[in-house]
Structure 1
């Protein structure tokens, strides 16, 4: 639904019906979940339906974020309710589904229908699975309903994420450590019992799991002193532990370089005005933009406001989070699709409660519920990753500028190669251009050499992957004790499986794109939809036997390097090797600690 609707709030729910909370409301002949976007006082001439239930104990987003949701909905032609649903952590969204109930008429039909017929199987499943989601195809259920054999009902799946609850142990009120020791002098038998009691008395509450890990007889001691009325167990929510370790401490530099100072002074002066403006920070690679970002964020936080830092990649978000948290402490949140549903929930709740000064994340962090936003930074603003191509389609960079305007925040778009659109906006006066044309310490740009391997003979190129020039450069760097990074924008082992007779590749049955061969899993996979199949030796188009693999990806490059440099430590970092949580961070950390010689 694209419109918004008015509902009356019953007197019993007045105190809880706040903007940003979800509510259950009647809509036609069913119940649906909605969001409170506005509250109006006074009587209405028309009869309004009443809200049934308020689902949240606290708002999921601040009132100041509502105009931004409304603008996104209108500009990108997407229903506002679904836009908010896509912005919230996935586990918070109650999802509707269809369930079925077999009728008396249906039971009679089940007895006379052939047991293996589609209708009989569906009726039997519905009878044995009351209240469960109807399997596909749903059209069959509608057909059975028309015959009077089935009743279809709409329900809402309320299962989702929430706070992580853990058991704690604490001292009961009125208990004193010295008095307890004195009274129980004869009953303290375990050698570590006094140390155990001291640990609990010195804390306001300690995790039961932590006590069990610290003291081998922790569970026994907890139960013993709980029965004596000295200790008590209780449950409380905890924030899920993120990987967010600091890769390597990054101290604040003693002083900035002249171009950094000049740019930062302009930004700080503008921040003090507390008004909207957009700067395009054009700084070459290595010019020190990150330190300018830090100075701007520190100024915004010093003014009692909050900051949002958007980066194009999850791996970069992890790095940035470690860097800024080492300087700003734990009032930093990270938000991206690589986190679990529970972790995203925790970070979202921390943010909406005002426990966070800085949010760092990829495109989805744009909707972070920061109630007092004063600064938005879009790093690498030219990157295509800011454009969402599915669900609600939007351009994150442009939307960030609009959010800054609505919340009177300063927006900084940073890039070494600005997009044409942003650069044009500086020419027309919509944005202001800030330039940092020199690298720190006037370091020269790296030498770039283009090698055309088509002009080389097969004897020179060998396997056709690594040129002699690149091989010599790698050997020189490794001999000097340096590290090597090889970039390749193709993952997998072979890029395509071709028929040598008709030239047709093996294609994905869903996307009609060529499947990529992955050696580790020994399978062909589609990088768009995830479809995979076993390698085939017969062409499905012409029936000819003898398919051949062509091209190479990161997996094959890694294998070739291990053969050429058997004594070197080699690692591969791509979507396939970093599927497990925290894996990308561990690889980067190992590389930063010189535990990896070559990284692909």
Structure 2
């Protein structure tokens, strides 16, 4: 087609698996400007879906009949224009559709699309009544139509993508159902409330009643604190419960006015109280800040790796660097690997920076995330704290980006859009002229290598605050510890002895096990088979408190009193140990001890987590036990004993990072002991006491662990000496996925001859079946990044061809953290 010089063309990233932006014409008769970062509704393949304006383009694609944007969904951009190039880079690097990248980056509940609502006709109802009850119950949507008379777009969306589609089309042809189109999604909306504010022209403030004057004083105070003319009525009545009548009478006297205003939902709720007075800095902290602050002032990209032992004061370095960045008129982004850690840092940053702080993580409701995102985009908050996805926060002019616990694998998204937030934080800092601080007591081997090679500036905090010593560590060889029955106990005698002594001294203890539940699996005593998930090739974990066996991958569960599916025997035995069983055994071993458990089962909500930690800080808990949730970021001054049960659990995983991760986990939990005035002690229970990860953690020897790991990786050409991509192939049929993986591997090897990439596999994934899908994988290694991505772009075309055949799911995981 020829370009019309009057026409405008817009590049739109659609929220669908489309690998490039699409070009659209502006909507009919719309005076609203279309700005980069706005959401629009666009037609695609007979549907209407959400898209994101990336900008204007000079010309239209040749030979295409362009469609018009259906509607503009926003009056303001949802992300700044400078992030468009950021999103494009990410989509190219991770080989993921740009519209899906942006959809992941934005708060949930913003995507709208057209859906199909199915309504039954009189003829259809008559036909259904003639069917047998068995036929109706055998097809779930028959029952829905019979009882409700309709199927919602959510239900039909799943049906339309299944083998039921042909049956639905047959029902339409026979006149038994009708189908209408409607928009669904987009549930996140602004909240409005009745607010009160001073009238523009006040006649007189004389002669006010006491209640009116008190109400007015409260309004003045809240208005001043929030720098806002209008204050929600509920806030005034919360501070002064008797304000209701006073507000009405003040309005009648034309002293205040009522107005419906948009308000931000409070994301903070309960949190810990921290001092807002900065403590005196140690010499090491001053030295670290002496390197960081000049780079912030100069507004240049500078990556720092802050290697500080546990309890050395990394948080105070973050806080003072953040305060300096704000003084320079820049914004601050703070990333933490888990929501639990966000709660810890949130308290420190709120104490220092108050209402300037915004939160972004999945623990918030969709409405709260929507509000926080808009606060940031509008410049109402210039400090953002959040988990992985907060790396996309719409901050303008970030001057400082902090990645706390930078080594943590939780920064890598493990499904869908598989990005690494730490790596994107470094990229974002480089594009905005910002300082990025990667902080950890146990840095990732890759990050430390970058520091030794000069890519990052290495800063050290080698001493704890007030020169407190690191805890003494004892390793217990569980191979030599047996009960009367000959089986190894959960707790060694030395750990039990130390727990009792700690109780007698009134000191607190912490017990760590990286497994939740009561027992890892159930085995049939008659046939020897384990009880497995119906949908995954994994054993079900016993959760005794709920009396159920649960799959920790897909959520499938059965009663704890189930029969063996192989021989129908009821003789099932619980094998292994989880945190629930630890709690049970500790209660029997130490009657009277106050025990709390911190894991995903006891912390379903944010307030559960805060409530448990509060009891520990108040001294109402003698022993805190839990999973990884207790290992990082916590400061318990009265915890003097840490026990680590089954410290070698992760060493058996088929992953080249298993040794590094085991060292990091042990070192992090070890760091919880002795952070107060009393020295700490750690007891590590293991069946592999001579493993270098255990020995190095025992000696607090990060340098030794790093030297061992980097030597091994160099010899085997593992990262950081190469890049790895994991291509995952999944299907519901085992033979089908095996054949597809072989075909893809053969194609990859043809490309390999003309590239510098190495193809390994295909092979079954260690977790061979998850959520009813059989899984194979193909590993691709390359030393040169550009050559590897060129190889992947060629392979992508073949993947698209294979995927179109249906029944197959293929994903590309660049820089995978886990190979499972």
Give me the TM-score of the superposition, normalised by structure 1.
Answer: 0.88
Q: Please point out which of 79, 96, 100 is paired with 1:61.
A: 79
Distance change >3 Å, CA 210–CA 75, structure 1 → 2: closer
1:166 and 2:202 correspond: no
Map Cα deviations across residues 402-456 of structure 1 (whole Å, 9 max, x no partner): 2222222222222222222222223333223223333333332211111123312
One of 131, 137, 141 as aligned partner of 2:159: 137
Equivalences for residues 538-577 of structure 1 within 5 A: 538-577=563-602
Counterpart in 2 of 1:425? 450
Residues 386-397 of structure 1 aligned to structure 2 (within 5 Å): 386-397=411-422
The answer as to whether partners of 1:282 and 1:418 remain within 8 angstroms in 2 is: yes
Structure 1, 426-435 or 356-365: larger mean CA deviation: 426-435
| Corresponding position: 1:408 with 2:433 | yes
Q: Which residue of 1 aligns with 2:46?
A: 29
Query: What secondary structure sits across from 1:366 in the alignment?
Result: helix
Between 204-213 and 73-82, report the one with greater CA deviation: 204-213
- SS of 1:587's partner is helix
The partner residue of 2:320 within 295, 298, 306 is 295
Contact 1:453 1:461 in 2 (8 A): no
Please point out which of 295, 299, 302 is paired with 1:274. Answer: 299
Mapping for residues 349-388 of structure 1, pairs under 5 Å: 349-388=374-413
SS class of match (2:376): helix
Any residues of structure 2 matched to 1:450-469 within 5 Å, and which? 450-459=475-484, 464-469=489-494
Instruction: Using the TM superposition, name which of 30-39 and 171-180 deviates more.
Output: 171-180
Hey, what does 2:23 align to over in structure 1?
Answer: 6
Query: Does structure 1 retain, via aligned residues, the 8 Å contact 2:519–2:577?
Result: yes
Q: Distance in 1 between the 2:32 and 2:562 partners?
A: 68
For 1:377 and 1:461, the matched residues in 2 are separated by: 50
> In 2 relative to 1, CA 358–172 (structure 1 residues): closer, same or farther, beyond 3 Å?
closer
Q: Deviations over 1:540-595 (max 9, x none)?
A: 11223311112222122223323333333321111111102321122222222222
Partner of 2:690: none
Q: Aligned partners of 1:155 and 1:574: how far apart in 2?
A: 42
In structure 1, C-alpha distance between the alignment counterparts of 2:533 and 2:50, rounded to whole Å? 38
Q: Which one of the candidate residues 295, 308, 329 is aligned to 1:283?
A: 308
Larger strand proportion of the pair = 2
Task: Note the C-alpha offset of 1:244.
Answer: 5.2
Q: Which residue of 2 aligns with 1:185?
A: none
Distance 2:99 2:59 in 1: 25
The answer to whether the aligner puts 1:121 opposite 2:148 as a matched pair is no
* Contact 1:496/1:514 (8 A) holds in 2: yes
- 1:281–1:433 Cα contact (<8 Å) kept: yes
Match of residue 599 from structure 1 = 624
Q: Which residue of structure 2 lines up, in the alignment, with residue 247 of structure 1?
A: 272
Q: TM-score, normalised by structure 2?
A: 0.66
Unaligned runs of 5+ in 1: 182-187
Q: Which has the higher mean CA deviation after the structures are superposed, 276-285 or 211-220?
A: 211-220
Deviates more, 1:154-163 or 1:107-116: 107-116
Query: What is the Cα deviation at residue 461 of structure 1?
Result: 10
| Residues 157 and 490 of structure 1: CA distance in aligned 2, closer, same or farther (over 3 Å) | same
Task: Please report the RMSD computed on the Cα atoms of aligned residues, expressed in angstroms.
Answer: 3.2
What's the CA shift for 1:476? 2.2
Runs of 4+ in 1 over 6 A off after TM superposition: 41-47, 214-217, 227-230, 460-463
More moved, 429-438 vs 297-306: 429-438
Within the candidate set 529, 532, 537, 2:554 is matched to 529
Unaligned runs of 5+ in 2: 1-17, 224-228, 626-820
Partners of 1:312 and 1:385 within 8 A in 2: yes
Alpha carbons 1:67, 1:406 under 8 Å: kept: no
Aligned counterparts of 2:74 and 2:66: Cα–Cα separation in 1: 22
Distance 1:197 1:250, change over 3 A: closer
1:99 aligns with 2:117: yes
State the distance in 1 between where 2:219 and 2:455 align: 60
**Shift in alpha-carbon separation, 1:514–1:40, aligned structure 2, 3 A:** same
Are 2:518 and 2:581, in contact at CA under 8 Å, matched by a contact in 1?
yes
Q: Supply the distance in 1 between the matched residues of 2:327 and 2:187 (Cα, whole angstroms).
A: 37
Aligned residues: 589
**Contact 1:6 / 1:48 at 8 angstroms: preserved in 2?**
yes
Cα offset for 1:126? Answer: 11
Conserved 8 A contact 2:540-2:549 = yes
